[in-house]
Structure 1
Amino acid sequence: MDNDEPLEPETQDEPETEPAPQNSDETLYCEAEASVAVDKDKAARESSETDLEIEDTEKFFTTGQRELYLEACKLMGVVPVSYFLRNMEESYMNLNHHGLGPNGTKAIAIALVNVSNNDLGLEGARIISEFLQRNISSLWNLQLSGNNFRDESAELLCQALSSNYQIKTLDLSHNQFSDKGGEYVGQMLALNIGLQSLDLSWNHFHVPGAVALCNGLRVNTTLQKLDLSMNGFGNEGATALGEVLRLNNSLVYLDISCNDITNDGVSKISKGLEVNESLKVLKLFLNPMSMDGAVSLILSIKRNPKSKMEEIDISNVLVSEQFLKILDGVCAIHPQLDVMYKSVQGFSAKKALLQWTNPMKLIQGYADQHKITVLDFFKSLNPKGVMTMPVGDFRKAMIQQDKVPVNLHQVRELIRKLDDKTGMVNFSLLKTVKP
């Protein structure tokens, strides 16, 4: 093929039988621009092989990945790319200049199981569901955000996941699931014993779907992280969630931001928090609640001596100094707790300035005075004496230590700088923090 001739964006639709082998130079591969000798040699090797030479490459990838990719190629009507098949298990591959086209890209996205924003629709959901039901793959992370999945797709996917316990992380956000989809998800959660993280944000669950979903959550024993933000649970959905929190002791993280939950719904959630022994993070941002709802939340934590709560996000709520006094009393019992609110009514500029004094300067001053390093100070907070510790344990240790006077706002700033995004603070990040 002449190098000046543009590649076709995608191959023609193929019949149901396997297509005849074609030279990769004529279908899905074009010569890359010369850069280094290694790249030239690699390009030469690729051009000498056909895109259907699959049998000789089976040992380079798992059966599940291979089958999913080949089925995806049939679905999209494209020829499988031998380079992709050979490098499936590599952490990095360069697919530039392979002339994939939109459909070829979708087939590869399905095989990588990060198929977000590909508008796969019902047929894509069917292919993925059939693959999952075979239970032959070692895949554990399934990213299906933004694929225009509707309730029919939810039914297919949930049927598969009711018996596939290998998937640990599932992202179904930014789809079109409504209340019927909520029923399917609830039924799946009642049966699934493998899923640990589920993202259902930016869908269309309202009260009936919310209640059905919560019915499944009540008996689920493995799910730890659940994102339900940007839906329409309302106060009735919040009531069902309160019952979930009363009975479920596996959830650690729950995001119900922007769900039209008022103080009445928050009070029902608070009832569940009075007995819950697992939840650590609760996000209620952008719900139409007031300070009364905020007070009911923190008092529920105070009433629960076994509460593990570490973070409550109500950062659109304006509170009072009286609320801060109540919060101080709660934190005396649960020093690991941090509550993020909007601001404090009538809070003086002097107090605000005190809150935002750089905590690293205070710690550096203490370290200099006692002729130790800042790292020595932080490691002294950790009973294990190692470089990492859970965020909640770090917050509790900082509040309880009496060497450097810091408040919750300053501790939050320290966590922001030292958080390694895995729920741990990492003291090795101190080299990037300036006093």
Structure 2
Amino acid sequence: MDQGKKSSTELLTAPGPEDQDAGAGREKLEEDRGQREEQEEQEEEEISDEDYDTDLELDDQEEAYDPVGQACYLEACRALQVAPASYFMRHMQSSELSMMHRGLGPQGTRAVAVALVTNTSVLQLNLQGNWMEGAGGGAVAQMLTENCYITEVDLSHNRLGDLGAGAVAAMLRGNGTLRSLNLSGNRLTARSVEQLGLALVHNSKLQHLDLSHNALGEEAGRHLGDAVSENTGLRSLSLAWNAIRGAGAVMLQRGQPREEAYDPVGQACYLEACRALQVAPASYFMRHMQSSELSMMHRGLGPQGTRAVAVALVTNTSVLQLNLQGNWMEGAGGGAVAQMLTENCYITEVDLSHNRLGDLGAGAVAAMLRGNGTLQSLNLSGNRLTARSVEQLGLALVHNSKLQHLDLSHNALGEEAGRHLGDAVSENTGLRSLSLAWNAIRGAGAVMLANGLGGNISLRAVDLTFNGFGGEGAVALGRALKENASLEELNVSNNRIPPEGALHLAMGLKRNNTIKSLKVGRNPIQTAGCYGILQALQENPQSAMEQLDLPDVTVNQDFDDLYSAVKEMFPALTVNHGGRTGAFKKQKLEKV
């Protein structure tokens, strides 16, 4: 027989209260029960040790699958000599079953419990006011140890007493499904609470418990205080009308955590952090904590003020774009923001520019980038970062494929940083734009960075203005343009690129089909370099060039004539130069 049958039998054979009526009917019942017991004893002698029988099996007949327990209920009603509840039978397939004030009594409740052991439909059960007493409450508790579908139960006003409460407490130790339990008005005492309290320490699934309108008293407060302090699952607890006073009330208050209002923006956390860090709360921040774009530029937060803001933003679900530019947060504040970003999964854009983060702050940001999967844009411009910073950030970029826009401009990266960035850029597959302007990247570092760009497959825009690529770096950039098939915008203005370097860039443009915008202004490329770049476009019909920026570079009539011819090939092309001089004199350049 299946486990459901055995559970049903246990519920039926559990001791109940003595019957109140006596007479011929009771004698008849006792006589029938005696005959049945004698029959069972005879059958036990004939079957093996592995077989067993219950008082619900009749003639070993195989029963049809009964997911709602209707057959079990009818059999239980016959065995317990109670009339079946037609309302119960009509609603056994409902997810919400309300049997309030149906006069079930202990025996009727036991019959209902038998049926619900294997019922898979009922999720919410209301048995309020059925005078089930301890025996009925025990049957329901036994049922709940077997049933893994019911999540809400109302047993209020049933005179369960300490006996019923003990059975419920035993059930709570093992039940992992029940979320809401109402035991209001059941004449529970401190003894009941002692048992329930021990169960609550172990049960972390129950979320709502109602113990109101009982007789718990002062002693119950002591037990509840210990239980509530250790319980980690309850979300609501009602102890109204229970005469909890004196020492019990004190211990309950000590054990019960303060109920805090839901704080999705972190305002309460911010005020608490400001008190702990001894900084004045920023009223602007508090007024805009619910905005999707939060701009706190030049607010003088400092390291401590930034830490307080970071604490609040850990659980904030509103802010998506965060601008903390120019707050002098230094490494400590940058570390706090980085730690916040490891936990916050809503913020997608962060501006930490001009905050003196230094290598310490950059290290914390690099550690965050290894695990953050939400951040898409990060501005670290003007933070006194060095090659050491880039070494850590470069390793993080190899693993992070979510960050799309990174600004490292106006730092002190230097030649060594170019080496680290070259390796990182060649392996990164997420970045769409990268700014390295004003970083004194030159020499071998510039060459390695350019080589990395050649192997990159995701970057669309790169800003290398105000570095020192020179001729050597321009040669490497020319090779990169031949290999790269994703870059659309390249800015190499103010890089001391000579005319020979411009011609190497031109050689790359002959093979490149993706570049749409090239800015090479304020470089000493002279008219010859400009002419060579424009001629490369003429020789590449597949070129995507739309904008050629050559400010402060003068051109001549020959350049204008070539531009007119190229314009016919690429009508969308615009060229910005520094004006036209006299006739063009070809300069002899070293062959590349």
TM-score, normalised to structure 1, is: 0.60
* Separation in structure 1 between the aligned mates of residue 268 and residue 448 of structure 2, nearest angstrom: 42
Q: Counterpart of 1:161 in structure 2: which amino acid?
A: L
Matched, 1:262 2:470: yes
Structure exhibiting the larger radius of gyration computed from Cα positions:
2
Matched, 1:316 2:522: yes
State the partner residue of 2:452. 244
Q: 1:409 aligns with which of 565, 575, 578?
A: 575
Q: CA deviation at 1:73?
A: 7.1
* Separation in structure 1 between the aligned mates of residue 307 and residue 260 of structure 2, nearest angstrom: 19
Q: Percent identity over the alignment? A: 22
1:63-115 per-residue CA deviation (whole Å, 9 max, x = no partner) reads: 6x98678657754623475x8546422368999xxxx9866985787656311
Q: Counterpart of 2:263 in structure 1: which amino acid?
A: E
- Do 1:69 and 1:107's aligned partners in 2 also have CA atoms closer than 8 Å? no
1:145-172 per-residue CA deviation (whole Å, 9 max, x = no partner) reads: 0001111111111111111121100000
State the partner residue of 1:201. 409
Matched, 1:182 2:390: yes
For residues 89 and 248 of structure 1, do their structure 2 counterparts lie closer, same or farther at Cα, with a shift above 3 Å needed?
same
* Separation in structure 2 between the aligned mates of residue 221 and residue 101 of structure 1, nearest angstrom: 36
Q: 2:548 aligns with which of 339, 363, 369?
A: 339
Q: Counterpart of 2:449 in structure 1: which amino acid?
A: L
Alignment of 1:4-403 (within 5 A): 55-56=260-261, 58-59=263-264, 61=265, 71=273, 74-75=276-277, 77-79=279-281, 84-85=285-286, 87-90=288-291, 113-134=322-343, 136-304=344-512, 307-317=513-523, 318-320=526-528, 322-323=531-532, 326-330=535-539, 332-342=541-551, 345=554, 347-348=556-557, 400=570
- Do 1:218 and 1:244's aligned partners in 2 also have CA atoms closer than 8 Å? yes
For residues 274 and 324 of structure 1, do their structure 2 counterparts lie closer, same or farther at Cα, with a shift above 3 Å needed?
closer
1:220-265 per-residue CA deviation (whole Å, 9 max, x = no partner) reads: 1101100000002102122112221222100111111111111111
- Do 2:424 and 2:452's aligned partners in 1 also have CA atoms closer than 8 Å? no
Q: Give me the CA root mean square deviation.
A: 3.8
For residues 208 and 70 of structure 1, do their structure 2 counterparts lie closer, same or farther at Cα, with a shift above 3 Å needed?
farther
1:399-429 per-residue CA deviation (whole Å, 9 max, x = no partner) reads: 646xxxx86238xxxxxxxxxxxxxxxxxxx
For residues 347 and 108 of structure 1, do their structure 2 counterparts lie closer, same or farther at Cα, with a shift above 3 Å needed?
farther
* Separation in structure 2 between the aligned mates of residue 68 and residue 295 of structure 1, nearest angstrom: 58
Q: SS of the counterpart of 1:202?
A: coil
- Do 1:142 and 1:170's aligned partners in 2 also have CA atoms closer than 8 Å? yes
- Do 1:143 and 1:171's aligned partners in 2 also have CA atoms closer than 8 Å? yes
1:316-343 per-residue CA deviation (whole Å, 9 max, x = no partner) reads: 1332374265144146331434321135
For residues 285 and 131 of structure 1, do their structure 2 counterparts lie closer, same or farther at Cα, with a shift above 3 Å needed?
same
Q: Counterpart of 1:115 in structure 2: which amino acid?
A: L
Q: Counterpart of 2:516 in structure 1: which amino acid?
A: E
Note the residue ranges of structure 2 that are not aligned, 5 or more in a row: 1-258, 314-318, 577-592
- Do 2:478 and 2:505's aligned partners in 1 also have CA atoms closer than 8 Å? yes
For residues 243 and 400 of structure 1, do their structure 2 counterparts lie closer, same or farther at Cα, with a shift above 3 Å needed?
closer
For residues 408 and 129 of structure 1, do their structure 2 counterparts lie closer, same or farther at Cα, with a shift above 3 Å needed?
closer
Note the residue ranges of structure 1 that are not aligned, 5 or more in a row: 1-53, 356-394, 411-435
- Do 2:462 and 2:491's aligned partners in 1 also have CA atoms closer than 8 Å? yes
* Separation in structure 2 between the aligned mates of residue 176 and residue 94 of structure 1, nearest angstrom: 22
* Separation in structure 2 between the aligned mates of residue 209 and residue 333 of structure 1, nearest angstrom: 35
- Do 1:183 and 1:209's aligned partners in 2 also have CA atoms closer than 8 Å? yes
- Do 1:193 and 1:222's aligned partners in 2 also have CA atoms closer than 8 Å? yes
Q: SS of the counterpart of 2:422?
A: helix
State the partner residue of 2:32. none
Q: Which has the higher contact order (CA 8 A, sep 6+)?
A: 1
Q: SS of the counterpart of 1:58?
A: coil
For residues 216 and 298 of structure 1, do their structure 2 counterparts lie closer, same or farther at Cα, with a shift above 3 Å needed?
same
- Do 1:203 and 1:230's aligned partners in 2 also have CA atoms closer than 8 Å? yes
Q: Counterpart of 1:347 in structure 2: which amino acid?
A: N
* Separation in structure 1 between the aligned mates of residue 503 and residue 517 of structure 2, nearest angstrom: 15
- Do 2:505 and 2:533's aligned partners in 1 also have CA atoms closer than 8 Å? no
* Separation in structure 2 between the aligned mates of residue 66 and residue 184 of structure 1, nearest angstrom: 35
1:132-187 per-residue CA deviation (whole Å, 9 max, x = no partner) reads: 222x3300001000001111111111111111121100000011111111101111
1:301-358 per-residue CA deviation (whole Å, 9 max, x = no partner) reads: 2124xx3111111011332374265144146331434321135556259959x99xxx
Q: Which moved more, 1:101-110 or 1:310-319?
A: 101-110
1:361-415 per-residue CA deviation (whole Å, 9 max, x = no partner) reads: xxxxxxxxxxxxxxxxxxxxxxxxxxxxxxxxxx99x9646xxxx86238xxxxx
- Do 1:187 and 1:213's aligned partners in 2 also have CA atoms closer than 8 Å? no
Q: Counterpart of 2:289 in structure 1: which amino acid?
A: M
1:245-298 per-residue CA deviation (whole Å, 9 max, x = no partner) reads: 222100111111111111111101211111110001111011111222112112
* Separation in structure 1 between the aligned mates of residue 573 and residue 295 of structure 2, nearest angstrom: 49
Q: Counterpart of 2:346 in structure 1: which amino acid?
A: S
- Do 2:306 and 2:337's aligned partners in 1 also have CA atoms closer than 8 Å? no
* Separation in structure 1 between the aligned mates of residue 300 and residue 537 of structure 2, nearest angstrom: 59
* Separation in structure 1 between the aligned mates of residue 560 and residue 279 of structure 2, nearest angstrom: 65
Q: SS of the counterpart of 1:77?
A: coil
For residues 72 and 254 of structure 1, do their structure 2 counterparts lie closer, same or farther at Cα, with a shift above 3 Å needed?
farther
Q: SS of the counterpart of 1:207?
A: helix
Q: Counterpart of 2:502 in structure 1: which amino acid?
A: A
For residues 274 and 68 of structure 1, do their structure 2 counterparts lie closer, same or farther at Cα, with a shift above 3 Å needed?
farther
* Separation in structure 2 between the aligned mates of residue 319 and residue 303 of structure 1, nearest angstrom: 22
